Amino acid sequence: LPGLPGALPHKCRLKYEDEEEEEEEEEEEEEEEEEEEEEEEEEEEEEEEEEEEEEEEEEEEEEEEEEEEEEEEEEEEEEGI
């Protein structure tokens, strides 16, 4: 129907719709990539936090062991006196 505003020939309309679909797919892919990156960053942060917690626990255990050893040495010295 020539002369109607917005009436595109069939081939042009299909091409336009294909381009729109491609743009939408690209946007969806970009959003998915961003979500994946965010998830990876969150996982890395969680891993770092877990590692820090483990290190702190190990340090606390070492300190406790050292304190126990010192107490034992003091007791042995007192008994030896």
Per residue in 24-38, pLDDT (tens digit) is 999 999 999 999 999
Measured CA distances, 73 to 17, 44, 60, 79 (Å)? 83, 43, 20, 10
Longest CA span, the chain: 114
Note the pLDDT of residue 78: 81
Backbone phi and psi for residue 9, each to the nearest 5 degrees, phi listed first: -60, 150
Q: What is the pTM of this model?
A: 0.51
Long-range CB pairs of 34-42 (<8 Å, 24+ gap) are none
